[in-house]
Every structure is written in C-alpha cells, then in structure tokens.
Amino acid sequence: MKAIFAALAACFVSSAALAEDFPSRQVTIVVPYSAGGVTDTYVRKLQPELQKRWGQTIIVENKPGSGSLLGAMDVASADPDGYTILVTAYGVISNEVLMPEAPFELSDLSPVYMLGRGSNMLIMRPDYPMDGIEEITAWAKEHPGELKLASSGVGASPHIAAELWASKVGVDYLHIPYQGSAPSRLDVMAGRVDGMMDGVSSVSYVRSGDIKAIAIAAEERHPSLPDVPTFREAGIDFVFGTIFGVYVAKDTPQAVQDEIYAAFDEAANVPEVHEMFVTQGLDATHRTQAEFKEIVAQELVQLEGLVEEGRLTPQ
Amino acid sequence: MDSILSNALMGLEVALMPTNLWFCFLGVFLGTILGVIPGIGVLVAISLLFPITFHIEPVAALVMLGGIYYGTTYGGSTSSILLNVPGTPSSAVACLDGYPMAQKGRAGTALFMTTVASFFGGTVGIIALMGFSPMIAASALKFGSAEYFGLMVLGLVAASTIASGSMFKGIAMVLIGILMGLVGSDVYTGTLRFTFGQMALFEGISIIALAMGIFGVSEVITSIRSVKRAGNADHDITFRAMLPTRAEMRASWMPMIRGSAIGSFFGALPGTGGLIASYMSYATEKRIGRAEEFGKGAIQGVTGPESANNAADQTAFIPTLTLGIPGSPTMAIILGVLIIHGIEPGPMVLVNQPDLFWGLVMSFWVGNLMLLVLNIPMVGLWVRLLKIPFHLMYPAILMFIVMGVLTTYNNVIQVWVLLLLGAFGYVLRYLGFQAAPLILGFVLGPMMEEHFRRTLMLSGGDFGAFFDSAISQVCLGSAVALVLYGLYVSFSGRARRGKAGEAVNEG
C-alpha cells in the first residue's frame, strides 16, 4: 500500500519533469477507423512531420469498431501521459448523444487540437426539377415527408446535417440511410433518392454533371465550387461539417497537451499538408485549444437540441 | 476499339516496368504460398501483407495487391484439390470435384486444368474489364435496391440448392447465416440487435473471424481427429501426370467459356463476386451435364467454377475502380490502399490517371501469365508444402489465423469470437452441414435486409416495387423456378437414388 502511495506521489512530482522531455519514447496515434479512410489519410500525412519534430517513432494504430467508440475508449483508458493520442472525426461527438449507454463518456477525453472542419453540401439528382435552395425548401414545406434525402448512415455527418437543416427551416423529410457515402451518392446519381447532404469530396461528380450542387453549409463559398451559394446567402443560418480533432486522456498534464498542440499545429501547417486539407474542403482555420473545446461543447448542445425535437433517437 | 488497344499498349508498358514486374511476381508468389496453406484466404493474406505496400509507390502497390489477390485464390484451389480443405471460401467449390479427382489419382490433371481454367477465366475477365468498364459502370445505375434484393434472393436460393446433400440443410444454413449477419446495429435506426451488451458485437460478427473460424479453426480441429488424412497429400506429380486426356480437354472447353461469362457478370456486380460466381457456375454445369457424375470427380466441376472464380476476381475491380464501391471485403481493403495513396476511386480515375488504371489492368494479365508459368513447374513444390506433417503445420496455421485476426482488429475479444465460431464450425461439420451457404447468408443477409427495407421506404410501402423492373422479375422468377426444381429433385430423387444404389451394387 505504501509503495503504491509512494509511486503515486512520484508520479505527481515527476509529471512536470516528464512534460519537459515529452516525448521520450514511441508515441501511438489511435485512429478509430479502418486504414484508408479519410481520417487515416490525414494522420498518415501528419505522421512524418510529427516524427521529424519529436525524433521518436510514431505508430498509427487503426482500431475501427462501433462507429469510432472502440478506439476512443482505448485512448480514454490509456495512461494519461500523452503517449496515446486519438485522432478522430465526428463520430466521437455524435455517439455521446446517440449512444448514451455505451461505456464511454466524451468527458473522459480532453480535446487538444482541431485539424479542421469539413462542410456538407446539399446535392440533388441531375434531373431534379428545382435548382434553388429557397424553392426546394418551400416545396419540402408543402409536401412534408416527401423529400427523400439519403445519408451515409445513422448519426454520420450527412444525416446530422440533414436533420439540422430540416430543424432550422422547419420541414419534415424522408431519411434514407445507406452504408457509406459511395452507395448513397450512386442512388442520388441514379435518381432513386432526391438528394443528400454530402461532403465536399463529391465535387468531381458535380463537375462531371452526375449530380447538382444546390448549397453549401459553410461560412463562405468553396474555392472549387465558386458557383454554389452558401445556405446563409439564402437566409438559412446553417453551417455544418464533420470535425477532425486530436484528443488525449483527460488527466494528461497540461504541459504535455501544450506540446502535442504545438506539434500538430506545426505539422498541419506544413504547406503540403495544409494544401491537402484545403483541397479536401476542410476549413483549417487556426484555433486554440480553448476554442476547440468550446466548439465541441456547442456541437453537443446542438445535437441534444435535435434529440429534444425528436429528430434523433438515442439508443 | 482503337482507344482500347492503345490504352492496353500503354498499360502493358506500365506493367512491364521492372519494378512493377517484380512486385507482381512477389505478390503472386506470396499469395500462392499463403493460399495453399489451408485456412488462409485472400482476406487474411491481404490483411497480413498490405502494410508492406504503404512503402512503395501506388501503381506498384496495387499491382502487388492484385498479385496477392489472385495468387491466393489460385493457391486456395490447390489445397482444395489435394486435401479437400478450401484455402479460401471461394475455392470451396473446387473441393466438390477436385478432391474426388485427386482420390482417383488425377490430382495432377486437376491442378493443371485449374491453372489453365484460371488463366482462361482471368483473361476473359480482363477483356471484360477493359471493354465493359464504362458500360458496366453505366448499367450499375440500373441496379437499385429492388434489383439488388432480387439478385441476392436468387444468389441465396442458388447457394442452398447446390449445397451437396440436402436442399433443406442448405436452406437451414443460409437462414442461420442471415441470423448471424443481423447481429450488430441496424442500418436504419442504429438499434443494437442480438449483441447481449457486448461491445465486440456492436459492429456485428466480423467476417474475418467467421470465415477463419468456420473454415480455418474447425479444419484444424478436424485434423486432430483424423491424423491419418496426412497421407492424402502424398501425390506424386510429374508433368506427364498433369496432362489431361483428350476427353477431359473436350469436356472442359464449354464449362470454361460458360464459367468465364458467369464469373465476369457476377464479379462486376457489387456485393456478389467469386464465391457466388463459382457456385453459380457449378450449378450451371451440374444442370447441363449429368448431375450424377458431379461430386465424384467430374472435370467440368473443376474447370467451370475455377474460370468463373478468376474471371470474377478480375471484373470485381470494375465497380471498385469506376464507382468506388467495393464488391467484397477484399475489394474494400484494396479501395483503402487506393485512398492511402491519394487516389479517390471513382469515374475520375479513368480520366485523370489512365496510366494507373490501364497499368493495373495489364498487370493483372501479366500476373495471370506468371501464375501459369510459375505453377506448372511449381505444382510439385506446393504438393511438398502440403507434405509437411500436419502436427507441425496446423499449430502454425492456427498461429497465422490468430495473427490475421489480431492484425486486422487489434482486439483480443475477436480472437475469442474466432475460437467460439471455430467450435461451432466443427459441430456443423460433424453433423454434415455445409459452411459455404452459411457464409453467403451471412454476407448477403444484412445487405438483403437493407435493400428490402430501402425498397419499401422508397416505394412508400408498396410491395409491387420488387417486381417493377425486368431485372428483378428475371431474378425472382429464376429463384422460384430453382426452388421448385430443387423440390422436384429431392422428392423424385429419393426414388431415383434407390435405383441408383441398386445399379452401383450390381456394378
């Protein structure tokens, strides 16, 4: 018993010292999605830059499962020393609201660095009779439950985006979930559903004319799609996109968190990496850790609002 | 036509670059070795080897993965024929007639014809891939949920009626497979089903754990009980023994052509693939040929499905490369590698990176040629590999299986799932149930449910939507016909089997 106390005390004393020479050994970055996904691609781009700064081996561990819960749980329960880092997309936030029974709380993690925010855009089938967002909204209001919007899955960003839009403008639509964005986009192209709140990555299909882009849920128009208006331009205050962020276990010393923040900030701002984020449609504005925490908190409030309205059903 | 030819030439140039040639060889070689080892299938082979590809350039990486992919399929057939142990689920069909051929002392011929049929099917698949890529991409838009549902019903009915043994056992296995497939969260509402509060089951039972457990682990358990089977691999294979007789050659042509056509078609459809294609081809050959010869070493039962399998392996790249829709778990991994290398699969790949697309396509052909050249002299080596005493080989296999599951999921619970399913697989085997329909039900069941419910959502609950298009009418109609035919065979067959038994006794 004494030994344990002694060890604990030693830990507290040495945590400050530890922070200074962090990292002194191999660092593991947990990606809660399979290799090859968007998040994984980003991490693998960042990995060499982080390795350069830290002079330590960085292992990227893919831990897919339960919509990012498995990987997140792993990091939350790891030693809070900064050697196990989580990089994840929106699932970690939406699961908190959608799966309250899961043995994991978002508060077990500390948000450190926000890589960026994507933006969803409303795409419609090529033969859809209307082109303007006002027109579509008006039609959807008159025909509740008739506008068919696809999504890449329950709780995924296209679903949340559609619910948010519907809640903002006060319409009811028919949600048709798919497994992944490729099959849902295909049914939009084939005209089986009316549209979808897709990510900006579908830009190549807009160019080829296979789908039409109606409006984008961003602050500003997207450089690759200068003709597509934002929802705000149409008077709908709707900005939404998935959030790519870096998290560690909540009790990690602040000094270590600061170093992780600085390292990711440096890596993400290497021109080549930054450019990739921008072309992928990511809003990679510089944000402090406090701002990131605030954004996560706001996101939770927004999701809980959808649950209260009965638009999302927690499991 | 001109453009296809010039594209093919450009692709050939890429494929014949020394680095690509080397990685193609490496992939084919490693793939065949892993495929020969019973229990190691394409999925395990790819998940073990694909981290290597992170360090090489995209074209070479894909070429190597492609090599592993069809090398493993080919190797899988080798162990099916020699040991009656399918190295991969899709080569399970090769057991049905390949193993009886080996028992009759025609192992060499079966292996040789497998190689020839693979090459033939692969070539046809590649031609289809080159010519039909744009066309099939366009027709994929015609397949909506209703059409997919019809097609899957047909696939499942076909799988259960062609299971050797009772049709009812086959249907039972399909249904158990569907039930197992439903574990996890429901696509439409996220509701968790049959998970018993276990985190490991939230995402469903993993296909790798299931396939490895039911085929791999149960095989190891069976081998402990029947050590004497080790002698079965003791075939002496000379080049002479490999040559087919003229009659065998003649009997093989049409099945190979039919098999390639069936394979090219099913490979290109997302969700189906080599497994369904080879079963479909087997069923077709059985219907066309004399059904009573099948299961006793009919060469048509080897060459047809084998060419179907390989053709499907090639055309499976069509939806993956042109639409970004992986048709199988293997394709999903390959898709992942593409994205890691910064290539977004979709219609733009053909336009923006023609060297990648055509280089890959031609390297498939070079790889298939390599398989042919590599395997004729090396069949002896594979046979020798199978002569390694089972008491040494099986612990090693078990280790590889566990490693495969661990490297894929990084989760010890999945190893327990694997072992549990292995025990279940052994019980099934003991009771004479076929595992292949179960796997098919497992893979297709959840997809069927998804498409079934989506069809109804889109039609507003109108069941007529299932019969709206010609594609669904044909599929569902054929499924009904197959069931009726199966019933007819199993009832009239009882009488006939009695007579056949007498005939055998007389002979």
A277 interface with B at CB cutoff 8 Å: no
Omega before A23 within 30 of 0, i.e. cis: yes
Specify the pLDDT at position B73: 80
B142, B340, B343: best to mutate for the A interface, most A CBs within 10 A = B340
CA closest to A39 among chain B residues: B340
Specify the pLDDT at position B342: 59
Please check whether residue A187 is in contact with residue A108, taking contact to mean a CB–CB distance below 8 angstroms. no
Extract the runs of DSSP E, i.e. beta strands, from B147-197.
Answer: 184-185, 192-193
Cβ contact B347–A44 (<8 Å): no
The arithmetic mean of pLDDT across residues B297-316, rounded, is: 86
Measured between CA atoms, how close is B455 to chain A, in angstroms?
10
The DSSP symbol for A228 reads S
A65 interface with B at CB cutoff 8 Å: yes
* CB neighbourhood size of B428 (10 A): 18
If one compares B476 and A40, the residue with the highest pLDDT of the two is B476
A127 interface with B at CB cutoff 8 Å: no
A186 interface with B at CB cutoff 8 Å: yes
Distance between CA atoms of A124 and B92, rounded to whole angstroms? Answer: 44
Of B185, B323, B450, the CB nearest to A186: B323
Q: What is the pLDDT of residues A157-182, one digit of tens each?
A: 899 999 999 999 999 999 998 877 77
Q: Rounded to the nearest 5 degrees, what angle is found at the Cα of A93, between the Cα atoms of A102 and A110?
A: 95
B413 interface with A at CB cutoff 8 Å: no
Specify the pLDDT at position B164: 54
The arithmetic mean of pLDDT across residues A61-75, rounded, is: 78
A125, A179, A192, A193: best to mutate for the B interface, most B CBs within 10 A = A192
Specify the pLDDT at position A292: 95
The arithmetic mean of pLDDT across residues B472-482, rounded, is: 88
* CB neighbourhood size of B296 (10 A): 13
Between A and B, how many residue pairs show a Cβ–Cβ distance under 8 A?
A: 103
Measured between CA atoms, how close is A146 to chain B, in angstroms?
10
Residue of A237, A260, A267, A210 whose CA lies nearest to A47: A267
Q: What is the pLDDT of residues B399-436, one digit of tens each?
A: 877 877 776 666 788 888 889 999 998 998 888 887 76
Report how far apart, in Å, the C-alpha atoms of B249 and of each of B99, B108, B237, B292, B303 are. Answer: 18, 14, 19, 20, 10
Report how far apart, in Å, the C-alpha atoms of B160 and of each of A37, B207, B435, B450 are. Answer: 36, 19, 11, 21
CA closest to B454 among chain A residues: A176
Specify the pLDDT at position A249: 94
> For the domain A25-118+242-308, what is the CATH code?
3.40.190.150
- Which residues share a beta bridge with B378? none
Please check whether residue A211 is in contact with residue A117, taking contact to mean a CB–CB distance below 8 angstroms. no
Q: What is the pLDDT of residues A182-207, one digit of tens each?
A: 778 888 988 999 999 998 777 878 88
Report how far apart, in Å, the C-alpha atoms of B168 and of each of B90, B144, B433 are. Answer: 22, 30, 10
If one compares B294 and A273, the residue with the highest pLDDT of the two is A273
Distance between CA atoms of A313 and A163, rounded to whole angstroms? Answer: 12
pLDDT at B483 > cutoff 50: yes
Measured between CA atoms, how close is A269 to chain B, in angstroms?
19
If one compares B460 and B7, the residue with the highest pLDDT of the two is B460
B457 interface with A at CB cutoff 8 Å: yes
What is the predicted ipTM?
Answer: 0.73
At which residue do the structure tokens 């089972």 appear?
Answer: B390
Sorting pLDDT into bands at 50, 70 and 90, what band is A248? very high
Domain range list for chain A: 25-118+242-308, 120-234
Of B199, B457, B458, the CB nearest to A70: B199
Q: What is the pLDDT of residues B122-136, one digit of tens each?
A: 899 988 888 877 665
pLDDT at B52 > cutoff 80: no
Alpha helices for B50-144 (secondary structure H): 58-83, 92-103, 107-140
B412 interface with A at CB cutoff 8 Å: no
**Residue A110 three-state SS:** strand
Cβ contact B336–A103 (<8 Å): no
Q: How many residues does chain B have?
A: 507
B139, B202, B412: best to mutate for the A interface, most A CBs within 10 A = B202
pLDDT at A1 > cutoff 60: no
Measured between CA atoms, how close is A1 to chain B, in angstroms?
31
Cβ contact A182–B325 (<8 Å): yes
A271 interface with B at CB cutoff 8 Å: no
Cβ contact A154–B335 (<8 Å): no
Q: Are strands A195-199 and A148-151 parallel, antiparallel or unpaired?
A: parallel
Sorting pLDDT into bands at 50, 70 and 90, what band is A295? very high
pLDDT at B210 > cutoff 50: yes
Specify the pLDDT at position B1: 47
Measured between CA atoms, how close is B11 to chain A, in angstroms?
24
Sorting pLDDT into bands at 50, 70 and 90, what band is B504? very low
Distance between CA atoms of B154 and B464, rounded to whole angstroms? Answer: 18
Helix crossing, B58-83 with B300-315: angle to 10°?
Answer: 160
* Chain B environment of A183 (Cβ under 8 Å): 270, 325
Which residues of chain B from 317 to 336 reach within 8 Å of chain A, CB to CB? Answer: 323-325, 332-333, 335-336
pLDDT at B163 > cutoff 90: no
If one compares B447 and A76, the residue with the highest pLDDT of the two is A76
**Residue A305 three-state SS:** helix
If one compares A84 and B367, the residue with the highest pLDDT of the two is A84
Distance between CA atoms of B190 and A315, rounded to whole angstroms? Answer: 7
At which residue do the structure tokens 């697309």 appear?
Answer: B357
Q: Which helix (H) or strand (E) holds A214?
A: strand A212-216
Model confidence, pTM: 0.70
B344 interface with A at CB cutoff 8 Å: yes
Q: What is the pLDDT of residues B67-123, one digit of tens each?
A: 888 788 888 888 778 777 665 656 777 777 888 888 787 878 888 888 888 889 989
CA closest to A156 among chain B residues: B190
Cβ contact A36–B144 (<8 Å): no
* Chain B environment of A193 (Cβ under 8 Å): 458
Specify the pLDDT at position B427: 92
Helix crossing, B274-288 with B300-315: angle to 10°?
Answer: 150
Please check whether residue B7 is in contact with residue B130, taking contact to mean a CB–CB distance below 8 angstroms. yes
Sorting pLDDT into bands at 50, 70 and 90, what band is B350? low
CA dihedral B231, B232, B233, B236 (to 10 degrees): 90
If one compares B200 and B256, the residue with the highest pLDDT of the two is B256
pLDDT at B300 > cutoff 50: yes
Specify the pLDDT at position B442: 81
Of B188, B200, B340, the CB nearest to A36: B340
Report how far apart, in Å, the C-alpha atoms of B490 and of each of A44, B175, B295, B482 are. Answer: 57, 19, 16, 12
The answer to whether the A25-118+242-308 and A120-234 domains have the same CATH topology is yes
B380 interface with A at CB cutoff 8 Å: no
Second-level CATH architecture of A120-234? 3-Layer(aba) Sandwich (3.40)
